[in-house]
A and B are shown apart, each in its own frame.
Chain A
Amino acid sequence: MSADQDTTSDLGIGFFGNMTASISHEIKNALAIVNENAGLLGDLALLMDKGRPLSAERLTTIAGNIRRQVQRADDIIRRLNRFAHSAHEPATRIDLREVLAFTVALAERLATMKGITLVLAAGEPVSLVIRPFVLENLLWLCLQRLFVAAGSGGTVELATEAKDGCALVRLRCGSGTQVGPVAAEAARLGQSLLAELQTEIDTDADQGELLLRLPAPACS
Protein backbone atom coordinates (compact mmCIF):
# COMPACT_ATOMS: atom_id res chain seq x y z
CA MET A 1 0.00 0.00 0.00
CA SER A 2 1.44 3.40 -0.94
CA ALA A 3 1.76 6.29 1.49
CA ASP A 4 -1.20 8.19 0.00
CA GLN A 5 -3.66 5.32 0.47
CA ASP A 6 -5.88 5.25 3.52
CA THR A 7 -5.64 2.48 6.07
CA THR A 8 -8.66 0.56 7.26
CA SER A 9 -8.73 2.81 10.34
CA ASP A 10 -8.63 6.01 8.27
CA LEU A 11 -11.44 4.79 6.04
CA GLY A 12 -13.38 3.55 9.07
CA ILE A 13 -13.29 6.96 10.76
CA GLY A 14 -14.58 8.64 7.60
CA PHE A 15 -17.32 6.04 7.23
CA PHE A 16 -18.31 6.36 10.87
CA GLY A 17 -18.50 10.14 10.49
CA ASN A 18 -20.67 9.95 7.34
CA MET A 19 -23.12 7.57 8.94
CA THR A 20 -23.43 9.21 12.35
CA ALA A 21 -23.92 12.66 10.76
CA SER A 22 -26.71 11.26 8.60
CA ILE A 23 -28.29 9.46 11.56
CA SER A 24 -28.22 12.63 13.65
CA HIS A 25 -30.15 14.44 10.89
CA GLU A 26 -32.74 11.67 10.86
CA ILE A 27 -33.19 11.95 14.63
CA LYS A 28 -33.48 15.75 14.37
CA ASN A 29 -36.25 15.35 11.78
CA ALA A 30 -38.22 12.97 13.99
CA LEU A 31 -37.84 15.35 16.95
CA ALA A 32 -38.89 18.31 14.79
CA ILE A 33 -42.13 16.54 13.85
CA VAL A 34 -42.83 15.62 17.49
CA ASN A 35 -42.21 19.27 18.36
CA GLU A 36 -44.70 20.52 15.74
CA ASN A 37 -47.37 18.03 16.79
CA ALA A 38 -46.94 18.99 20.45
CA GLY A 39 -47.16 22.64 19.43
CA LEU A 40 -50.30 21.92 17.43
CA LEU A 41 -51.89 20.29 20.49
CA GLY A 42 -51.12 23.45 22.47
CA ASP A 43 -52.61 25.63 19.71
CA LEU A 44 -55.77 23.53 19.58
CA ALA A 45 -56.10 23.66 23.39
CA LEU A 46 -55.95 27.46 23.24
CA LEU A 47 -58.64 27.51 20.55
CA MET A 48 -60.77 25.14 22.61
CA ASP A 49 -60.49 27.59 25.53
CA LYS A 50 -61.93 30.21 23.19
CA GLY A 51 -64.89 27.96 22.41
CA ARG A 52 -63.78 26.22 19.23
CA PRO A 53 -64.76 22.53 19.38
CA LEU A 54 -62.04 19.89 19.17
CA SER A 55 -62.89 16.37 18.05
CA ALA A 56 -61.56 13.24 19.73
CA GLU A 57 -60.64 12.00 16.26
CA ARG A 58 -58.31 14.98 15.73
CA LEU A 59 -56.60 14.34 19.06
CA THR A 60 -56.23 10.66 18.26
CA THR A 61 -54.62 11.49 14.92
CA ILE A 62 -52.10 13.85 16.51
CA ALA A 63 -51.31 11.34 19.28
CA GLY A 64 -50.75 8.71 16.57
CA ASN A 65 -48.39 11.05 14.70
CA ILE A 66 -46.33 11.60 17.85
CA ARG A 67 -46.26 7.89 18.66
CA ARG A 68 -45.11 7.06 15.12
CA GLN A 69 -42.25 9.57 15.26
CA VAL A 70 -41.13 8.32 18.68
CA GLN A 71 -41.06 4.79 17.23
CA ARG A 72 -39.10 6.09 14.24
CA ALA A 73 -36.55 7.81 16.50
CA ASP A 74 -36.26 4.65 18.59
CA ASP A 75 -35.57 2.57 15.46
CA ILE A 76 -32.91 5.07 14.34
CA ILE A 77 -31.20 5.02 17.75
CA ARG A 78 -31.22 1.20 17.81
CA ARG A 79 -29.53 1.28 14.39
CA LEU A 80 -26.99 3.81 15.67
CA ASN A 81 -26.25 1.64 18.69
CA ARG A 82 -25.73 -1.46 16.57
CA PHE A 83 -23.53 0.49 14.17
CA ALA A 84 -21.42 1.93 17.01
CA HIS A 85 -20.85 -1.52 18.52
CA SER A 86 -19.99 -3.04 15.13
CA ALA A 87 -17.00 -0.69 14.87
CA HIS A 88 -15.06 -2.70 17.46
CA GLU A 89 -16.61 -6.08 16.78
CA PRO A 90 -14.06 -8.80 15.88
CA ALA A 91 -14.49 -11.21 12.99
CA THR A 92 -17.65 -13.17 13.62
CA ARG A 93 -20.06 -15.43 11.75
CA ILE A 94 -22.62 -13.32 9.93
CA ASP A 95 -25.36 -13.72 7.37
CA LEU A 96 -24.15 -11.71 4.39
CA ARG A 97 -27.68 -10.77 3.35
CA GLU A 98 -28.39 -9.44 6.82
CA VAL A 99 -25.28 -7.20 6.67
CA LEU A 100 -26.48 -5.93 3.30
CA ALA A 101 -29.91 -5.19 4.78
CA PHE A 102 -28.29 -3.24 7.63
CA THR A 103 -26.08 -1.29 5.20
CA VAL A 104 -29.16 -0.42 3.12
CA ALA A 105 -30.88 0.87 6.29
CA LEU A 106 -27.78 2.98 7.12
CA ALA A 107 -27.37 4.37 3.61
CA GLU A 108 -31.02 4.86 2.65
CA ARG A 109 -31.32 8.51 3.65
CA LEU A 110 -28.07 9.45 1.90
CA ALA A 111 -29.23 7.57 -1.21
CA THR A 112 -32.55 9.42 -1.16
CA MET A 113 -30.69 12.73 -0.97
CA LYS A 114 -28.99 11.78 -4.23
CA GLY A 115 -32.29 10.69 -5.80
CA ILE A 116 -31.27 7.02 -5.68
CA THR A 117 -33.48 4.10 -4.67
CA LEU A 118 -31.76 1.26 -2.83
CA VAL A 119 -33.29 -2.19 -3.20
CA LEU A 120 -32.32 -5.39 -1.37
CA ALA A 121 -33.03 -8.35 -3.62
CA ALA A 122 -34.54 -11.53 -2.23
CA GLY A 123 -32.03 -14.32 -1.71
CA GLU A 124 -30.87 -17.22 0.41
CA PRO A 125 -28.79 -16.58 3.55
CA VAL A 126 -25.03 -16.78 2.96
CA SER A 127 -23.00 -17.43 6.09
CA LEU A 128 -19.37 -16.38 6.49
CA VAL A 129 -16.87 -15.21 9.09
CA ILE A 130 -15.94 -11.58 8.69
CA ARG A 131 -15.65 -8.20 10.48
CA PRO A 132 -19.05 -6.71 9.66
CA PHE A 133 -17.91 -3.08 10.06
CA VAL A 134 -15.19 -3.52 7.44
CA LEU A 135 -17.67 -5.06 5.00
CA GLU A 136 -20.20 -2.28 5.66
CA ASN A 137 -17.42 0.24 5.02
CA LEU A 138 -16.49 -1.40 1.71
CA LEU A 139 -20.14 -1.53 0.64
CA TRP A 140 -20.55 2.16 1.45
CA LEU A 141 -17.39 3.08 -0.46
CA CYS A 142 -18.79 1.26 -3.52
CA LEU A 143 -22.32 2.62 -3.08
CA GLN A 144 -21.13 6.24 -2.92
CA ARG A 145 -19.52 5.85 -6.33
CA LEU A 146 -22.43 3.89 -7.78
CA PHE A 147 -24.80 6.71 -6.74
CA VAL A 148 -22.81 9.06 -8.97
CA ALA A 149 -22.61 6.55 -11.82
CA ALA A 150 -26.33 5.69 -11.66
CA GLY A 151 -27.37 9.36 -11.41
CA SER A 152 -30.48 10.88 -9.85
CA GLY A 153 -33.53 8.74 -10.49
CA GLY A 154 -31.45 5.56 -10.62
CA THR A 155 -31.75 2.37 -8.62
CA VAL A 156 -29.02 0.29 -7.01
CA GLU A 157 -30.00 -3.28 -6.19
CA LEU A 158 -27.97 -5.30 -3.70
CA ALA A 159 -27.99 -9.07 -3.95
CA THR A 160 -26.08 -11.97 -2.44
CA GLU A 161 -25.25 -15.31 -3.90
CA ALA A 162 -23.28 -18.39 -2.84
CA LYS A 163 -21.33 -19.60 -5.82
CA ASP A 164 -18.62 -22.24 -6.10
CA GLY A 165 -18.12 -22.25 -2.36
CA CYS A 166 -17.69 -18.51 -2.06
CA ALA A 167 -19.91 -15.50 -1.47
CA LEU A 168 -20.79 -12.91 -4.10
CA VAL A 169 -22.27 -9.48 -3.50
CA ARG A 170 -23.89 -7.98 -6.58
CA LEU A 171 -24.41 -4.21 -6.70
CA ARG A 172 -26.57 -3.73 -9.77
CA CYS A 173 -27.29 -0.37 -11.40
CA GLY A 174 -28.62 -1.69 -14.69
CA SER A 175 -27.25 -1.77 -18.20
CA GLY A 176 -25.81 1.49 -19.45
CA THR A 177 -24.15 2.36 -16.15
CA GLN A 178 -20.38 2.69 -16.49
CA VAL A 179 -19.28 0.37 -13.66
CA GLY A 180 -15.69 -0.10 -14.87
CA PRO A 181 -14.43 3.27 -13.57
CA VAL A 182 -16.42 2.71 -10.34
CA ALA A 183 -14.66 -0.62 -9.76
CA ALA A 184 -11.25 0.89 -10.51
CA GLU A 185 -11.76 3.79 -8.10
CA ALA A 186 -13.25 1.57 -5.38
CA ALA A 187 -10.30 -0.84 -5.74
CA ARG A 188 -7.83 2.03 -5.45
CA LEU A 189 -9.47 3.83 -2.53
CA GLY A 190 -10.59 0.70 -0.69
CA GLN A 191 -7.39 -1.28 -1.08
CA SER A 192 -6.93 -1.76 2.67
CA LEU A 193 -10.54 -2.90 3.12
CA LEU A 194 -10.29 -5.36 0.23
CA ALA A 195 -7.04 -6.71 1.66
CA GLU A 196 -8.52 -7.23 5.12
CA LEU A 197 -11.62 -8.91 3.70
CA GLN A 198 -9.57 -10.83 1.11
CA THR A 199 -12.13 -9.66 -1.38
CA GLU A 200 -11.86 -9.00 -5.11
CA ILE A 201 -13.80 -6.44 -7.10
CA ASP A 202 -15.05 -7.37 -10.53
CA THR A 203 -17.70 -6.06 -12.92
CA ASP A 204 -20.35 -7.36 -15.24
CA ALA A 205 -20.52 -4.47 -17.70
CA ASP A 206 -23.53 -5.89 -19.59
CA GLN A 207 -25.61 -5.97 -16.42
CA GLY A 208 -24.15 -2.76 -14.99
CA GLU A 209 -23.02 -4.74 -11.95
CA LEU A 210 -20.20 -4.34 -9.50
CA LEU A 211 -19.24 -7.72 -8.00
CA LEU A 212 -17.55 -8.29 -4.65
CA ARG A 213 -16.15 -11.79 -4.43
CA LEU A 214 -15.42 -12.99 -0.92
CA PRO A 215 -13.00 -15.92 -0.92
CA ALA A 216 -13.94 -19.51 -0.30
CA PRO A 217 -12.21 -19.87 3.09
CA ALA A 218 -14.48 -17.18 4.52
CA CYS A 219 -17.67 -18.91 3.40
CA SER A 220 -19.56 -21.72 5.00
Chain B
Amino acid sequence: MRVLLVDDEQELVATLAERLEMRGIEATWASDSNTALERVRQERFDIALLDVKLPNMNGLELKRLIEAECPWMKFIFLTGHGSDEDFVACSAESGCDYYLIKPVQLDVLMGKLNEIFKGSGGPP
Protein backbone atom coordinates (compact mmCIF):
# COMPACT_ATOMS: atom_id res chain seq x y z
CA MET B 1 0.00 0.00 0.00
CA ARG B 2 1.38 3.42 -0.98
CA VAL B 3 0.10 6.48 0.84
CA LEU B 4 0.66 10.20 0.21
CA LEU B 5 0.34 12.50 3.23
CA VAL B 6 -0.29 16.21 2.61
CA ASP B 7 -0.30 18.85 5.35
CA ASP B 8 1.47 22.21 5.59
CA GLU B 9 2.72 21.14 9.04
CA GLN B 10 5.85 19.43 7.70
CA GLU B 11 6.87 17.94 11.05
CA LEU B 12 3.44 16.34 11.41
CA VAL B 13 3.45 14.53 8.06
CA ALA B 14 7.14 13.60 8.24
CA THR B 15 6.66 11.94 11.65
CA LEU B 16 3.40 10.30 10.63
CA ALA B 17 5.06 8.95 7.48
CA GLU B 18 7.89 7.46 9.55
CA ARG B 19 5.41 5.74 11.86
CA LEU B 20 3.44 4.32 8.92
CA GLU B 21 6.70 3.04 7.37
CA MET B 22 7.40 1.21 10.64
CA ARG B 23 4.07 -0.58 10.05
CA GLY B 24 4.93 -1.67 6.53
CA ILE B 25 3.17 1.10 4.62
CA GLU B 26 5.09 3.02 1.97
CA ALA B 27 4.42 6.62 2.93
CA THR B 28 5.53 9.81 1.18
CA TRP B 29 4.68 13.32 2.30
CA ALA B 30 4.29 16.80 0.87
CA SER B 31 3.76 20.08 2.71
CA ASP B 32 2.04 21.97 -0.10
CA SER B 33 -0.37 21.32 -2.95
CA ASN B 34 2.09 21.82 -5.81
CA THR B 35 4.56 19.33 -4.33
CA ALA B 36 1.70 16.88 -3.77
CA LEU B 37 0.72 17.13 -7.44
CA GLU B 38 4.35 16.58 -8.49
CA ARG B 39 4.49 13.47 -6.31
CA VAL B 40 1.38 11.88 -7.83
CA ARG B 41 2.76 12.56 -11.32
CA GLN B 42 6.03 10.84 -10.43
CA GLU B 43 4.81 7.91 -8.32
CA ARG B 44 1.72 5.75 -8.07
CA PHE B 45 -0.20 6.04 -4.79
CA ASP B 46 -3.26 4.16 -3.55
CA ILE B 47 -4.51 6.57 -0.91
CA ALA B 48 -3.95 10.25 -0.07
CA LEU B 49 -4.41 11.74 3.40
CA LEU B 50 -5.16 15.44 2.81
CA ASP B 51 -5.42 18.29 5.29
CA VAL B 52 -8.66 20.19 4.64
CA LYS B 53 -6.97 23.56 5.19
CA LEU B 54 -3.94 23.90 2.94
CA PRO B 55 -2.32 27.15 1.84
CA ASN B 56 -3.49 28.47 -1.56
CA MET B 57 -5.77 25.52 -2.24
CA ASN B 58 -8.00 23.59 0.16
CA GLY B 59 -8.01 19.81 0.47
CA LEU B 60 -11.14 19.48 -1.66
CA GLU B 61 -9.59 21.40 -4.56
CA LEU B 62 -6.41 19.35 -4.32
CA LYS B 63 -8.45 16.12 -4.26
CA ARG B 64 -10.18 17.11 -7.50
CA LEU B 65 -6.86 17.81 -9.22
CA ILE B 66 -5.34 14.53 -8.03
CA GLU B 67 -8.46 12.59 -9.02
CA ALA B 68 -8.29 14.03 -12.53
CA GLU B 69 -4.84 12.49 -12.92
CA CYS B 70 -5.20 9.41 -10.71
CA PRO B 71 -8.86 8.31 -10.76
CA TRP B 72 -8.11 5.10 -8.82
CA MET B 73 -6.90 6.95 -5.73
CA LYS B 74 -8.91 7.04 -2.49
CA PHE B 75 -8.92 9.94 -0.05
CA ILE B 76 -8.96 10.56 3.67
CA PHE B 77 -9.38 14.13 4.90
CA LEU B 78 -7.63 15.45 7.96
CA THR B 79 -9.35 18.25 9.86
CA GLY B 80 -8.68 20.24 12.98
CA HIS B 81 -12.32 20.11 14.08
CA GLY B 82 -15.07 17.61 13.33
CA SER B 83 -17.56 20.45 13.01
CA ASP B 84 -15.39 22.30 10.53
CA GLU B 85 -17.66 23.77 7.85
CA ASP B 86 -14.98 23.13 5.26
CA PHE B 87 -15.11 19.46 6.07
CA VAL B 88 -18.90 19.40 5.78
CA ALA B 89 -18.57 20.96 2.33
CA CYS B 90 -15.87 18.50 1.36
CA SER B 91 -17.73 15.40 2.47
CA ALA B 92 -21.06 16.41 0.95
CA GLU B 93 -19.67 17.55 -2.38
CA SER B 94 -16.91 15.12 -3.05
CA GLY B 95 -17.79 12.02 -1.07
CA CYS B 96 -14.42 11.63 0.60
CA ASP B 97 -13.78 8.11 1.84
CA TYR B 98 -13.17 9.06 5.45
CA TYR B 99 -12.04 11.88 7.70
CA LEU B 100 -9.86 12.09 10.77
CA ILE B 101 -9.71 14.78 13.41
CA LYS B 102 -6.33 15.99 14.67
CA PRO B 103 -4.52 14.69 16.68
CA VAL B 104 -4.61 11.47 14.65
CA GLN B 105 -5.09 8.16 16.45
CA LEU B 106 -2.70 5.91 14.53
CA ASP B 107 -4.60 2.68 15.14
CA VAL B 108 -7.75 4.33 13.74
CA LEU B 109 -5.81 5.56 10.70
CA MET B 110 -4.25 2.11 10.16
CA GLY B 111 -7.67 0.46 10.36
CA LYS B 112 -9.13 2.89 7.85
CA LEU B 113 -6.18 2.59 5.44
CA ASN B 114 -6.49 -1.21 5.47
CA GLU B 115 -10.26 -1.04 5.03
CA ILE B 116 -10.04 1.37 2.08
CA PHE B 117 -7.17 -0.56 0.47
CA LYS B 118 -8.99 -3.88 0.71
CA GLY B 119 -12.20 -2.28 -0.53
CA SER B 120 -10.40 -0.89 -3.56
CA GLY B 121 -9.23 -4.36 -4.50
CA GLY B 122 -5.62 -3.85 -3.46
CA PRO B 123 -2.77 -3.27 -5.85
CA PRO B 124 -3.64 -3.03 -9.56
Partner-B contacts on A (CB < 8 A):
24-25, 28-29, 31-37, 39-40, 43, 47, 65, 69, 112-115, 152
In the complex, 30 of the A-B residue pairs with CB atoms within 8 angstroms, ordered by the A residue number, are A28-B80, A28-B103, A29-B9, A29-B12, A29-B80, A31-B102, A32-B12, A32-B102, A32-B103, A32-B104, A33-B12, A33-B15, A36-B11, A36-B12, A36-B15, A36-B103, A36-B104, A39-B19, A40-B15, A40-B18, A40-B19, A43-B22, A65-B11, A65-B15, A69-B11, A112-B8, A113-B54, A113-B55, A114-B56, A152-B56
Is B112 in the interface zone, CB < 8 Å from A?
no
Q: Do most interface residues of chain B lie in helix, strand or loop, or is the interface mixed?
A: loop
User: Which of chain B's residues have a CB closer than 8 A to the CB of A35?
Assistant: 103-104
Taken residue by residue from 76 to 114, chain B's Cβ proximity to chain A (1 for < 8 Å, 0 otherwise) reads as 000011000000000000000000001110100000000
Q: For the complex, count residues of B whose C-beta is within 8 A of A.
A: 19
Closest chain A CB from B37 CB (angstroms): 15
Partner-A contacts on B (CB < 8 A):
8-9, 11-12, 15-16, 18-19, 22, 53-56, 80-81, 102-104, 106
Closest chain A CB from B62 CB (angstroms): 13
B22 & A25 in contact (Cβ 8 Å cutoff): no
User: Which of chain B's residues have a CB closer than 8 A to the CB of A152?
Assistant: 56
Selected from B9, B22, B54, the residue in CB contact (under 8 A) with A32 is B9
Closest chain B CB from A155 CB (angstroms): 14
Closest chain B CB from A114 CB (angstroms): 8
Max chain B CB contacts within 10 Å: which of A35, A37, A47, A115?
A35
